[in-house]
């Protein structure tokens, strides 16, 4: 049984110029103990997904459709008090900026003990001991003294470790981590990612890792969901999504990331930009930028279809569609671009391009 199920989630923002759909029919699952990466560019809606799950959507944003089910219980329609009990106890959260995630006026120990005692029926002394153990576990030296220090007395990396300790304090089953390493130096990033992986495996906690950094995803996650304009473009095991992307956007994204192994003259670029929320085209949201667009893409919005080892929201993978065979050619074309080679000659003549 899956730990978290998100079914057809819709998040809307009513504005004076009309209602904006920031998340449009998003569905995915997280199994217990699994690490799911949610990747996408700015505006794709990945932070909003995390916020909706934790129940911290900023008004006027609201969940306008679909369900979020945690361990069999619906949590998107709970009141504030009920959600408060779930937050911390069953879902932990790690945010991007360790500076603002901790209250600067209270010691680290006080914040940890407060979280532990809110959710677990333990005495103050026992909570304090747990807090010290947690700090030790997250690699903070001299935990017995540092537990009484204030956040400003820790460095950036240390603070993020404290935040991780805080998230794990009440032993939740799911951790939502929103860009946990983006604000840190590269060398510290490696430490924090390792720490997160180890602690979650040890405690059997599942992680929803939201980031824009594909390298972190590659290293950490079991599965990954690629978001585009508030929709899921592709979802599947991490190795397959990176090396054999089935959705043209994923392919373009992978090809445009400079990587350490190859030396290319030009990076592959996807022309254009992600559409703004009030200007999403009908049909598939990616159709203005897609190299393999055809008429159906302009009219019908694709559902997630099985495409090899992953699921992709692309009509190229519809078994019944005559255009299907070209998905393979497209994937080949993208891979070739990723390695700086000239595109496979067949790919150029594959389809009559639809001129929008």
Partner 1 sequence: MNAAVMPNAEAASAAAGDAPLVVAHDLAKTFDVSAPWLNRVLERKPRTLLHAVDGVSFEIERGKTLALVGESGCGKSTVARLLVGLYEPTRGGMHFDGQDAQAAYRSSSGRQLRRRIQMIFQDPYASLNPRWLVEDIIAEPLHEHGILSGKDAMRERVGELLRSVGLSPLDMAKYPHQFSGGQRQRISIARALATAPEFLVCDEPTSALDVSVQAQVLNIMKDLQRERGLTYLFISHNLAVVRHVSDQVGVMYLGRLVERADKAELFARPRHPYTRMLLDAIPQMHAVGRARTPVQGEVPNPLNPPSGCAFHPRCPHANARCSAERPALLQLSGVRVACHAVEEGRI
Catalog residues that contact partner 1 under the rule CB under 8 A: 41-42, 155-158, 185-191, 193-194, 212-219, 238-239, 242-243, 252-254, 256-261, 263-271, 273
Give, to the nearest 10 degrees, the angle between helix 156-168 and helix 124-137.
Answer: 130
What is the Cα–Cα distance from 60 to 334, expressed in whole angstroms? 40
Query: Shortest distance, CB of residue 257 to partner 1, whole angstroms?
Result: 5
Strands in the chain per DSSP E: 4-15, 18-30, 35-39, 62-70, 73-74, 91-94, 174-178, 206-211, 223-228, 231-237, 305-307, 310-312
Cβ 302 vs Cβ 319: under 8 Å = no
Q: Specify the residue, 176 or 254, whose C-beta has the smaller distance to partner 1.
A: 254
Q: Specify the residue, 50 or 55, whose C-beta has the smaller distance to partner 1.
A: 50
In the chain, what is the straight-line distance between the N-terminal and C-terminal CA atoms, in Å?
A: 44
Query: Shortest distance, CB of residue 72 to partner 1, whole angstroms?
Result: 31
Query: Shortest distance, CB of residue 5 to partner 1, whole angstroms?
Result: 26
Query: Shortest distance, CB of residue 33 to partner 1, whole angstroms?
Result: 16
Q: Specify the residue, 266 or 342, whose C-beta has the smaller distance to partner 1.
A: 266
Q: Specify the residue, 7 or 212, whose C-beta has the smaller distance to partner 1.
A: 212
Query: Shortest distance, CB of residue 288 to partner 1, whole angstroms?
Result: 14
Q: Specify the residue, 19 or 194, whose C-beta has the smaller distance to partner 1.
A: 194
Q: What is the DSSP letter of 314?
A: -
Q: Specify the residue, 206 or 214, whose C-beta has the smaller distance to partner 1.
A: 214
Nearest in space to 197 (alpha carbons), one of 213, 224, 177, 171:
177
Cβ 309 vs Cβ 294: under 8 Å = no
Query: Shortest distance, CB of residue 193 to partner 1, whole angstroms?
Result: 7
Locus of tokens 């703004």: 276
Q: Specify the residue, 81 or 271, whose C-beta has the smaller distance to partner 1.
A: 271
Q: Specify the residue, 61 or 252, whose C-beta has the smaller distance to partner 1.
A: 252
Q: What is the DSSP letter of 352?
A: P
Give, to the nearest 10 degrees, the angle between helix 186-203 and helix 156-168.
Answer: 20
Count of beta carbons in the 10 Å neighbourhood of residue 280: 18
Cβ 243 vs Cβ 259: under 8 Å = no
Query: Shortest distance, CB of residue 54 to partner 1, whole angstroms?
Result: 24
Cα 242 from chain centroid? 15
Cβ 22 vs Cβ 31: under 8 Å = no
Query: Shortest distance, CB of residue 285 to partner 1, whole angstroms?
Result: 14
């Amino acid at each position: 049984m899956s730990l978290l199920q998100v079914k057809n989630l819709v998040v809307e923002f009513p504005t004076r110029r009309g209602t904006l759909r920031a998340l449009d029919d998003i569905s995915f699952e997280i199994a217990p103990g699994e690490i799911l990466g949610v990747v996408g560019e700015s505006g794709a809606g990945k932070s909003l997904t995390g916020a909706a799950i934790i129940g911290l959507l900023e008004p006027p944003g609201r969940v306008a459709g679909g369900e979020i089910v945690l361990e069999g219980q619906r949590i998107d329609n709970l009141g504030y008090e009920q959600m408060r009990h779930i937050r911390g106890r069953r879902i932990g959260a790690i945010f991007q900026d360790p500076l603002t995630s901790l209250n600067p006026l209270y010691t680290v120990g006080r914040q940890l003990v407060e979280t532990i005692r809110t959710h677990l029926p333990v005495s103050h002394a026992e909570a304090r001991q747990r807090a010290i153990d947690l700090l030790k576990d997250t690699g903070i030296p001299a935990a017995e003294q540092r537990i009484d220090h204030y956040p400003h007395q820790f460095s950036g990396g240390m603070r993020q470790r404290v935040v991780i300790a805080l998230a794990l304090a009440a032993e939740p089953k799911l951790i939502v981590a929103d860009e946990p390493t983006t604000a840190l130096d590269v060398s510290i990033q490696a430490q924090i990612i390792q720490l997160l992986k180890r602690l979650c495996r040890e405690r059997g906690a599942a992680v929803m890792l939201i980031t824009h950094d594909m390298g972190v995803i590659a290293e950490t996650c079991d599965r990954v969901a690629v978001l585009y304009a508030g929709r899921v473009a592709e979802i599947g095991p991490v190795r397959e999504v990176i090396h054999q992307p089935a959705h043209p956007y994923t392919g373009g994204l992978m090809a445009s990331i400079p990587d350490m192994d190859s030396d290319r003259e030009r990076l592959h670029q996807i022309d254009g930009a992600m559409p703004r929320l009030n200007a999403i085209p009908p049909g598939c949201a990616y159709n203005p930028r897609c190299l393999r667009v055809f008429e159906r893409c302009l009219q019908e919005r694709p559902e997630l279809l099985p495409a090899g080892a992953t699921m992709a929201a692309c009509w190229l993978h519809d078994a019944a569609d005559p255009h299907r065979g070209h998905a393979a050619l497209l994937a080949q074309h993208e891979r070739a671009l990723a390695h700086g080679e000239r595109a496979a000659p067949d790919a150029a003549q594959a389809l009559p391009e639809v001129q929008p």
